[in-house]
A and B are shown apart, each in its own frame.
Chain A
Amino acid sequence: MAVAKDSQPPVSYPFRGSFAHYDEAFESAGLAREHYAQYFEEFLSLGDQEIARRWDKARRRIQEDGVTFCVYGEGREEERAWKLDPIPLLIPPADWARLEQGLRQRAELLDHILADLYGEQRLIREGLLPPELVFGNPAFLRPCRGTAPVEERRLRNYAADLARSPDGAWWIIDDRTQAPSGVGYALENRMAITQVFPDVFRGSPVARLVDFYAKYRDGLLALEGARQDPSRVVVLSPGPHNEIYFEHSYLARFLGFALAEGGDLTVRDNRVYLKTLDGLHEIGAILRKMDDDFCDPLELRADSLLGVPGLVHAVRRGNVSIANMLGSGVLESRALMPFLPLLCRRFFDQKLILPSVATWWCGQKDELKYVLDRFDAMTIKAAFPSPRMNPIAGRTLSAKERERWIARIRRRPHLFVAQEHVALSSAPVWENGKVEPRHLTLRCHAISEGKAGGWSVMPGGLGRVTASAESTDVSMQMGGGSKDVWVLTGQQTDAPSALMLSINSGPVILSRSARRLPSRVADNLFWLGRYVERGRGLIALARAALQKTEEEPGVEELLRIRGLECALERWTGMAEPSAENETPPPDDLETKIGRAIFDRNAPGSLASTLDAIRRTARPVSDRFSDDCWLLLNRIENVLGDGGETGSFAAEDGRERLREMTVLLAAFGGMVDDGMIRSPGWRFLEIGRCLERAANVAQLLQGTMAGQNENEAGLIGAVLEATDSAMTYRLRYFDQASAAAAIDLTILDESNPHAIAFQLSRLIRHIEKLPRRGAGGATTEMVRLLDLHRQLLCDDPHRLAAPEADGAREKLDELLSRIREDLYRLSEELSLAYFSHSEPARQLRNTAPSRPASPGQSAFGATPLEDGGGL
């Protein structure tokens, strides 16, 4: 199929009359630009159906890989699948050469300005920058003055948002200099597109991204503090609540650095350390994905709970390199834009290659007048990154609002800039089987090479498109999507490799441990193990209960499994204090099971347990493969959203529970299978064993330990709920014996569902953990060993013997002790291995100049002593 040459357009592409804006792919309706011609030929030759089929697969992959971003709104955040369009943005070689050159120059310029603002401030003294832009700028962080590295670049990663004007020229609309996002998503986009359209990709000469990431990594390793040692570098993330947490973890994994949250790092002796299970491990360089002012509650934003107290001082003392340097957000001020051409002359005696969108800073008299004279043609924006403000288009205001805005601008003119209205270009997207135009901006990244070398621009980037043809807002929060960006080169390039390993010239240092394990990761793995087991146990219990109601729906049978029902209720925390003697109506149990499965609000329900699994798995997702996420997402799909009502069709329910059992077991197995046998894995196992033992103990205590009317039915249900029915049948056929059931579920060390089995595994794992503090076994460990010994020697007949009232006190006693010991063990492990993860708190002299109450101020005579004079 030929494009561009035929008079008949192969793609119907609705253009709005004449060309009010530039279109990336078409010169006119149906006439594709030269550099798109071949692409369209390949792409469209696949046919609508094939494109749709492949794209469906890609979307599923994105969802199942957990490529997400968070949407905030109405009090809760929601995770959404990343939105990617199948048609890439193509940039021809000549265009790109100019963009690349312009981005390099701008990155270099901004780096110079940054060095000056946090150093000598000559630009202000020479009158090249008004002091308002610095001293009146909330993004200028005074504690960071004097911390700008001299021999290294201050900026390591610079990003620009670009738009193309109707005449085809690129303009910079925003500079991103704190912790620019998009480097990870761009890579993910490329992987997705090349996997689904390998043929189309191979047909075009597209520049590879891999070298860029290699240079990114090398640049970070070249930082003073990193000393070329990857274990001295971390990626600092605000954590899973951040909208683009996915990218942080993806990038950390791809670059091969540990992902840390503020709580994983601690400052000791003015040095930064990663808290690991083996103790504190020194960090020399931080790639921070956190805004400037959140990084240190001691010297920056006091209410930040995300940062690392003492970090600024560690930087001040030269003990850690931060990319980008703290305080670099000052460059994101739009008010700087009008001054860049002059500064470019001042520093390099060059013309600014890439212009910024026309911007007037209202802090200057003439500019203010100019803006107010043409108010209707202007978009008013905040001059500085904070406080945030939505852009105001002059022409959309009512007379009254207009007046109010003008008064506001006149009162504090330096806080505002006016920009020319930006007419974004359009680019084709594939929507509902059709090619349609959407407005587009482009985010490009540059990174500094080596210690203080030149700039390397990612040959590609992140295309961002609006949700509709009319909208001009590309933000994902507002429903926008993304595009892969293909930078076309003159010649054919190599096929991309998924692993993207590169041959490095240096000698390789062999290593058996991937990285040191942060304590928080161990904490998460421990709870992941517990939640997975909790979910599994709950499904088994629900299946056992459901089976009973289906097979024998009689009232008598329900009474028999009352014990089981009690366990279920207690487990999910839904027990109601009523109805000790009432016989529940036959469908009541089903409702309860329904709630135990679906109700997200019931703590301990399957739905909320799955939430907890996600919550604990996400921060450690760099520890297991994408396939694990696929399984989790499948479970979620099987669970469905029937939960709102708690309705539950029994036949269907059984089938779904069965499927979930298999998927959850597969998830557990896959996590286990792919994991290095490190202390992290041990914590996962410890969590799992601990939870299983506690659950079995709880179940037995709620059933076997009490007085029961129909023992045989109950024993059957209990055996099923503990996954031991099959073994029991093999050993005892149909003979119902309490002693035999107790032996199998508690004492038999060879049954992987018995408590004794869990205890012996716990002991094995705990013994292998890194030691904390003084040697020797801890109290809890001694108790655990003692308990284990008791289980091995105990007599099942003794435990099964009922008292006069029919209850089994000995059994009850033992189960209580087991539960108590397990609880204490869990507490002790938390204290010993995780508790320094406790978040820091702000402490402030709340009333330094306010009078203390009488009687509190009697600390007079303190002798003058040393303590280090100032």
Chain B
Amino acid sequence: MKYRIEHRTDYRYSRSVAIGYNKACLTPLTTPFQKVHASLLRIEPRPEVFDPYVDVFGNTVLHFAIQRPHAEVAATAVSEVEVFPRANPDPAATPTCARTRERVRQHADGETLDACEFVFESPYIQIGRSVAEYAAPSFADETPVLAAALDLMRRMREDFEFAPKATTLTTSLVELLENRKGVCQDFSHLMIACLRSAGLAARYVSGYLRTLPPPGKEKLKGIDFSHAWIAVFVPGSGWIELDPTNDLICATDHVSVAVGRDYDDVSPLRGVVVGGGRQTLDVSVDVAVIEPPGQSQSQTQTQTQRKSQSQSQSQSQGSGQSQSQRQSPPPAGK
């Protein structure tokens, strides 16, 4: 599946900004199942400092600074990304929770050592008692780790309601557990907290989700959103991406941009300005499919093979609950 994604952020200030510093996490990741054909970041007005670097998690971050007076900034990221199907392990065949915990604790190899970075609390992941209690039923020692994570995700889907205005960035996980309403970011944080409370490694993934127009309508431009989901560490299989907002295992509908311990590590655009008065913010995202699966000409043999595997997978998903959810409002990607 090949996408063209356009993510535009507009800041407007009531008073002129003398100087503004920013870091942008808007360049999609290159992974074994995701290829970035092109990615451009355009900043207006043109910044004096335009200095990309790779952060500790492997994300490409753009540090930029506009050093002359300005009253608005537009940051536009345009990327062409191809997502290939991936083989996910059979949940029932994954190592048990106890075994996984032990492997990470021993961190004897590179894979588990890397996972150690994602086992602890982080700015948005506070593991209080209520989180641990909510998580506990899914994580019996003998349950296979991926099955446990899927069980947690299913329970969350049943217990929580998608509600765009119910939370803010400062809503704590305790409050979320009380009110049971939120958006993708909240669900991802909660799920990560639950997994970590069980001693497992889990990380935050920011990115985009392919959305389908309501039946019989044309897909409108710019109505999409950036999205967030999680990845859980499964020994032997690596990071398996799960979308708690839609209760599904990520396949070719998700385009990942950055990974981190939580939102704080990967916020798409973060900045500090001198001056500026009041500010307003507009974000618009457009995720367009430019090459549906099967039409790609540049696939290698193995990739084709993997794709056919995942087609069956996405079909099985399509018949399930998630497909209908994605087609009906509210849009899934929040």
Q: Is the beta-carbon distance between A135 and B119 smaller than 8 angstroms?
A: yes
Are A865 and B42 closer than 8 Å at their CB atoms?
yes
Tell whether, in the assembled complex, residue A841 and residue B272 are in contact, meaning their CB atoms are under 8 Å apart: yes
Binds B, one of A345-353, A489-497, A849-857: A849-857
A88 to B261, CA, bound (A): 50
Contact B267 A867 (CB under 8 A): no
Of A836, A843, A845, A867, the contact of B41 (CB 8 Å cutoff):
A867
Q: Is B18 an interface residue (CB 8 A)?
A: yes
Q: Find out whether the CB atom of A317 lies under 8 angstroms from the CB atom of B227.
A: no
Cα-based distance from A431 to B184 in the complex (angstroms)? 64
Say if the beta carbon of B67 comes within 8 Å of chain A: yes
A412→B129 CA distance, assembly (Å): 11
Q: How many A-B residue pairs have CB under 8 A?
A: 180
A142 to B43, CA, bound (A): 26
- Cβ contact of B270, chosen from A840, A845, A864, cutoff 8 A: A845
In the bound complex, residues from chain B placing their C-beta under 8 Å from that of A857 are 222-223, 282-284
* Cβ-neighbour of A866 out of B42, B62, B117, B222 (below 8 A): B42
B78 interface neighbour in A124, A851, A862, Cβ under 8 Å: A862
Interface status of B279 (Cβ within 8 A of chain A): yes
Q: Determine which of A131, A145, A862 lies in contact with B8 in the assembled complex, contact meaning CB atoms within 8 Å.
A: A862
Verify B272–A842 contact, CB threshold 8 A: yes
Q: Does B93 contact A (CB under 8 A)?
A: no
> Is B172's CB within 8 Å of the partner chain A?
no
CB-based contact B275/A838 at 8 Å: yes
Binds A, one of B53-61, B149-157, B312-320: B53-61
Interface contact A136-B283, CB-CB below 8 Å: no
Separation in Å of the A292 CB from the closest CB of chain B? 15
- Does B268 make an interface contact (CB < 8 A)? yes
Per-position 1/0 for B197-233, Cβ under 8 A of A: 0000000001000000000000001110111100000
User: With the chains together, A852 CA to B9 CA distance in Å?
Assistant: 11
Q: Is the CB of B21 within 8 A of A867?
A: no
- B48: which A residues are within 8 A, CB to CB? 268-269
| A residues near B267, Cβ cutoff 8 Å | 844-845, 848
Shortest beta-carbon distance from A847 to chain B in Å: 7
Q: Does B253 contact A (CB under 8 A)?
A: no
- Partner pick for A870 among B20, B60, B269, CB 8 A cutoff: B60
Are B19 and A266 touching (Cβ within 8 A)? yes
A269-B48, A860-B284, A866-B42 known; A309-B113 Cβ under 8 A: no
A858 touches B284 (CB 8 A): yes
- B121 near A136 with CB under 8 A, answer yes
Residues of B within 8 A of A499 (CB): none
Which chain B positions have C-beta within 8 A of A868? Answer: 41, 50
B-facing residues in A668-712 (Cβ within 8 Å): none
Measured in the bound complex, the distance between the Cα atoms of B282 and A856 in whole Å is 6
Give bound CA distance, A414 to B21, whole Å.
Answer: 36
In the assembled complex, how far is the CB of residue B96 from the closest CB belonging to chain A, in whole angstroms? Answer: 19
Contact A142 B281 (CB under 8 A): no
Q: How far is the CA of A518 from the CA of B279 in the complex (A)?
A: 29
Decide if B334 touches A840 in the complex (CB within 8 Å): no
Knowing A124-B113, A857-B222, A861-B221, the reply to whether A841 touches B273 (Cβ < 8 A) is yes
Instruction: Assess whether A859 is interfacial by the CB under 8 Å rule.
Output: yes
**A-facing mask of B107-129, CB < 8 A → 1, else 0?**
10000010011011100000101
Is A53 part of the binding interface, using a Cβ–Cβ cutoff of 8 Å?
Answer: no
| Cβ-defined contact, A268 with B221, below 8 A | no
Instruction: Say how far B266's CB is from chain A's closest CB, in angstroms.
Output: 10
| Listed residue (A131, A266, A852, A870) with the most chain B CB atoms within 10 angstroms of its CB | A870
- Determine whether the beta carbon of B18 is less than 8 Å from that of A309: no
Contact residues in B for A852 (Cβ distance below 8 Å):
282-284
Contacts of B164 in A (CB 8 A): 850-851
Closest to A138 in B: B121
A131: contacting residue among B63, B67, B107, B279, CB under 8 A: B107
A382 → chain B, closest Cβ, in Å?
13
Q: Is the CB of A142 within 8 A of B8?
A: no
**Docked-complex contact B221 and A317, CB < 8 angstroms:** no
B20's closest neighbor in chain A, by CB? A843
Which residue of A has the minimal Cβ distance to B170? A846
The residue of chain B having its C-beta at the shortest distance from the C-beta of A837 within the complex is: B274
Q: Is A270 an interface residue, CB under 8 A from the partner? A: yes
Contact A310 B183 (CB under 8 A): no
A836-B18, A852-B282 are known contacts. Are A870 and B8 too (CB-CB below 8 A)? Answer: no
Q: How far is the CB of A224 from chain B (nearest CB, A)?
A: 20
The distance from the CB of B31 to the nearest CB of chain A, in whole angstroms, is 16
Q: For window 31-56 of chain B, which residues contact chain A by CB distance below 8 Å?
A: 38-44, 46, 48-53, 55-56
Q: Does B234 contact A (CB under 8 A)?
A: no
Interface check B76, CB cutoff 8 A: yes
A841 touches B6 (CB 8 A): no
Q: Are A270 and B185 in touch, CB under 8 angstroms?
A: no
Which B residue sits closest to A414, measured CB to CB? B120
Q: Which residues of B contact A861 (CB under 8 A)?
A: 221
CA distance A856 to B285 in the complex (A): 11
Contact A848 B8 (CB under 8 A): no
Residues of B within 8 A of A270 (CB): 49, 51
A808 CA / B178 CA spacing, docked (Å): 72
Given known A-B contacts A125-B113, A860-B286, A870-B52, A844 and B270 have beta carbons under 8 A apart: yes
* A836 surroundings in chain B (CB, below 8 A): 18, 274
**Minimum CB–CB distance for A136 against chain B, Å:** 4
A90 within 8 A of B: no
Chain A's nearest CB lies how many Å from the CB of B191?
A: 15
Quick check: is B10 within 8 A (CB to CB) of the other chain?
yes
CB nearest neighbor in A for B129: A411
Contacting B43 at CB < 8 Å: which of A143, A268, A316, A867?
A: A867
Residue numbers in A under 8 Å from B41 (CB-CB): 867-870
Q: In whole angstroms, what is the CA distance A636 to B63 when docked?
A: 50
Complex: A856 Cα to B11 Cα, angstroms: 12
Q: Does B276 contact A (CB under 8 A)?
A: yes
Chain A residues in 8 Å Cβ range of B119: 131, 135-136
A849-B183 contact, Cβ under 8 Å, with A136-B121, A142-B55, A843-B271: yes
Chain B, Cβ-Cβ closest to A271: B49
B147 within 8 A of A: no
Contact with A along B154-188 (1 / 0, CB 8 A): 00000000001000110000000000000111000
Given contacts A136-B121, A859-B282, contact A841 B274 (CB under 8 A): yes
Contact check: which of B6, B65, B168, B184 meets A267 at CB < 8 Å? B65
Whether A848 touches B21, Cβ cut-off 8 Å, given contacts A836-B274, A862-B6, is: no
In the bound complex, how far is the Cα of B225 from the Cα of A845, in angstroms?
13
Q: Are B21 and A298 in contact (CB under 8 A)?
A: yes
A544 vs B302: C-alpha distance when bound (angstroms): 98
B-chain residues with CB within 8 Å of residue A316 when the two chains form the complex: 53
Residue of A313, A838, A843, A862 most packed against chain B (CB within 10 A):
A843
B residues less than 8 Å from A411 (CB atoms): 129, 132
Across-interface contacts of B23 in A (CB, < 8 A): 298-299
Chain B residue nearest to A313 in the complex (CB): B63
Q: Which residues of B have CB within 8 Å of A653? A: none
Contact of B127 among A412, A846, A848 (CB under 8 A): A412
Pair B222/A298 contact, Cβ less than 8 Å: no
| Interfacial chain B residues near A867, Cβ < 8 Å | 40-44, 46, 50
* CB atoms of B265 and A846 under 8 A apart: no
Shortest C-beta distance, B276 to chain A (Å), equals 7
Other A-B pairs, 14, CB within 8 Å; known A841-B276, A848-B267: A135-B116, A143-B56, A269-B48, A309-B274, A310-B272, A843-B271, A844-B169, A845-B267, A846-B169, A847-B283, A851-B164, A857-B283, A859-B222, A861-B221
The 5 closest A-B pairs by CB, nearest first: A867-B42, A136-B120, A131-B116, A309-B272, A860-B221
A-B contact pairs, 20 of them (CB 8 A): A131-B117, A131-B119, A143-B56, A267-B21, A298-B272, A299-B23, A309-B272, A411-B129, A841-B275, A843-B273, A847-B283, A849-B185, A849-B206, A851-B331, A859-B222, A861-B221, A864-B40, A866-B40, A867-B41, A870-B40
Interface, chain A (partner B; CB < 8 A): 124-125, 131-132, 135-136, 142-143, 145-146, 266-270, 297-299, 302, 309-310, 313, 316-317, 411-412, 414, 836, 838-852, 856-862, 864-870
